[in-house]
Amino acid sequence: LYVEHPLGVGQSVPLDKGQAHYLFGVMRQAVGGQVLLFNGSDGEWRAEIVQAGKRGGELCCVQQTRPLRMPPDVWLLFAPIKKARTDFIVEKAAEMGAARIVPVMTEFTNAGRIQRDRLQAHAVEAAEQCGGTYVPEVVEAVKFGRLLEQWDTSRRIMFCDEALAGATSELPSQPGPWAILIGPEGGFSDRERSKLHKAEFADAVTLGPRILRADTAAVAAMTIWQQKLGD
């Protein structure tokens, strides 16, 4: 269970209504039961339920079961698409160990308002379900131009370029840190592609001969990166 609270021996952890509903209503836990907790920074802890109610409850941390495991340093930069598919991208990026998730508004991005909190909640759920001890931060959406202007060039960008489909390209081999960049349904504009091809810190790669949907491309790119550079 993910909690936004420090974890340590004897630490009391309050539960809100939603967490209480999940633990006591859905999971049928009760006082004396044991729960595994993580908060994204203190590792995983075994805690005992000391109070259980409809509107909340309280846990007491007993013992650390796993230390914090930081994912390899790769961010996912992606152009938001339709709501359900954007949710899918965030969920899969969190499962596959992205350290940070950055929505990028490109020229052809055609998505409604980005609800950062909603996307962050999907990242938390994904981390909970895959037993991670870390939750990637979903940051506020940033415009493509601004992203490149402010980019810390010590982090390389693996630019997934659909225009290279069918060509051959080397996959990155430097240890990182890295960011993977996926475009929107309409792909990158010529101007954006040209900027990325000129940028010394970006490496254009192909994901194979077919043009993949943006959500498929995000999963494929994360898989390739983890296979080659992940730990």
Q: DSSP secondary-structure letter at 26?
A: I
Taking the alpha carbons at both ends of the chain, their separation in whole angstroms is: 25
Say how many C-beta atoms besides its own lie within 10 A of residue 41's C-beta: 12
CB of 183 to ligand SAM, least distance (A): 2
Q: Smallest distance from the beta carbon of 149 to ligand SAM, in angstroms? A: 20
Residues 72-101 that bind ligand SAM (CB under 6 A): none
Q: Which is nearer to ligand SAM, 131 or 208 (CB)?
A: 208
Q: What is the DSSP letter of 140?
A: P
Residues 102-141 that bind ligand SAM (CB under 6 A): none
Task: Convert residues 201-220 into a mask of x (bound to ligand SAM by CB under 6 A) and - (unbound).
Answer: -----xxx-xxxxx--x---
Handedness of CA 28, 69, 15, 125 (dihedral sign): negative
Instruction: Please return the burial class of 97, using the count of CB atoms within 10 Å of its CB with bins 0-12, 13-18 and 19+.
Output: buried
Rounded Cα–Cα distance for residues 76 and 218 (Å): 8
Q: Does 188 bind ligand SAM (CB under 6 A)?
A: yes
The DSSP code for 73 is S
Instruction: Find the part of the chain contacting ligand SAM (CB under 6 A) among 2-10, 131-139, 158-166, 190-198.
Output: 158-166
- Provide the binding-site residues for ligand SAM, judged by CB under 6 A: 160-162, 164-165, 182-183, 185, 187-188, 206-208, 210-214, 217
